[in-house]
Structure 1
């Protein structure tokens, strides 16, 4: 029987997906986060690297691989709020429909900051929407990375790669993952690799994913070179972007995931993770 995968193939998962060779019994489709969230929940696919918030919201039926994630500790560069006023003065924000995760994170941060701007669905690049009258625009993924560089770049030989700029042409870019770290001190887990509890992935798929991740992380410069050309960005910017990511869902990432679950989806069901060798792992509400 064919096992069906749904991949969100942004650059941030290139170290896992670029060299992934699917077992003969597995097929795959690709799409944006909201499409793959819906595909997994409807049964169109059996596993997907879905938004962490959808995993939390549907924790009664979904389980996640115990050692795969898309997380960062600090800036992510591709989940950005572009704004022309200070955050306290932002009154109207355009939201992308491509990502439930980024919208949920923004809503949590706004509550924590005590801010109540109007949130509206609108698609388009950040500068176009700002010119249409929005004073804040939420952008995600590869487009957000390019648009951040369009605001903050070009980088010069004197630019330190440990503190990249976030302003230009009257626009400020607030990195939501960095804002989360400032708020909580935890990494932010954007995505997990989830599947229905009654239909776990075959062992050969998990092994192939682990081998692909090892290959990708071990050759990050080559991955960055390939994707820099596609994105139209300098190789060193893309490599810096990729080396920020945490792909193994380690203990700090789970702490951040739990913290976000408590803030974004109070009363959520227990989060469960597939077994590591010999045991099943769980994170219950209230555990640290």
Structure 2
């Protein structure tokens, strides 16, 4: 067996990937979301935790694991629009090239508000780009989490994560997942574990992923402590951040995913998912 995985190893998937032991015959590479999206579609890798929007756009050739997701109900803290003007007055917004998902979500949210600012590709920290003349900057991942805390922090002993302000020093931080929840009342699914329909993952890999997820969620404080040191953030900030995530693609997550698909990619092919846990053995026995 030879099977290659492509992991987007941001902090938000640390509870799944940190302790994952790949079975014999499976190897892995890492990269940013757009790189892994391309690697999966080109055949460079066989499975990847790709942007949900790329799964939707390529639903004719891709299938997803039925019980793995990166989703949130409410704020995500790491997909942020930093802006110096009210949303209704935005003129120029800088977009990262690292994530198709966040760009698609921003476009949906702007469209739902009837807004049409100029969207431009530009890389760099939010405050740097704002100083260069952009009045909005989209940031994702660990960098966005650090920059969010850089604007709204520090966290004092008397304050909580949910009590932190969303604006400081003339900068407002709009959490796109929170805006999605306000719009729809549903969770937002940022990523799924997808593979080409003609090349599903070996059961040993899926089982190893489930075991790693169970271990990571069971030791979330240790995972948060380890990544807080890497990020240079307070431990309880990272712990709260990880507590928010929904990793099992449950019914509400699928509902939000289908609603986003309808808004972002009208006319997409039907979304398909592999057999749920336990169904693999049932199907094998039937075969």
Question: Which residue of the partner structure matches residue 115 of structure 1?
Answer: 115
- Rounded Cα–Cα distance in structure 1 between residues aligned with 2:63 and 2:267: 17
SS class of match (2:154): coil
Offset at residue 25 of structure 1 (A): 1.0
Offset at residue 277 of structure 1 (A): 4.7
How many positions carry a matched residue from both structures? 280
Question: Which residue of the partner structure matches residue 136 of structure 1?
Answer: 136
Question: Which residue of the partner structure matches residue 50 of structure 1?
Answer: 50
- Kindly indicate whether residue 83 of structure 2 is the aligned counterpart of residue 83 of structure 1: yes
Paired residues for 1:131-280 under 5 Å:
131-277=131-277
Question: Which residue of the partner structure matches residue 285 of structure 2?
Answer: none
- Rounded Cα–Cα distance in structure 1 between residues aligned with 2:6 and 2:79: 21
SS class of match (1:67): strand
CA RMSD of superposed structures (Å):
0.9
SS class of match (1:142): helix
1:29-73: per-residue Cα shift (whole Å, max 9, x none)? 000000000000000000000000000000000000000000000
4+ runs deviating over 4 angstroms: 277-280
Q: Unmatched 5+ residue regions in structure 1?
A: 281-288
- Rounded Cα–Cα distance in structure 2 between residues aligned with 1:90 and 1:11: 30
Offset at residue 163 of structure 1 (A): 3.4
Question: Which residue of the partner structure matches residue 105 of structure 2?
Answer: 105
Offset at residue 165 of structure 1 (A): 2.1
- Kindly indicate whether residue 9 of structure 2 is the aligned counterpart of residue 9 of structure 1: yes
Question: Which residue of the partner structure matches residue 28 of structure 2?
Answer: 28
- Rounded Cα–Cα distance in structure 2 between residues aligned with 1:160 and 1:128: 28
SS class of match (1:65): strand
TM-score (ref. length: structure 1): 0.96
- Rounded Cα–Cα distance in structure 2 between residues aligned with 1:275 and 1:150: 43
TM-score (ref. length: structure 2): 0.96
- Rounded Cα–Cα distance in structure 2 between residues aligned with 1:127 and 1:139: 11
Offset at residue 278 of structure 1 (A): 6.3
- Rounded Cα–Cα distance in structure 2 between residues aligned with 1:276 and 1:229: 36
Q: Unmatched 5+ residue regions in structure 2?
A: 281-287
Change (3 A) 1:118 1:207: same
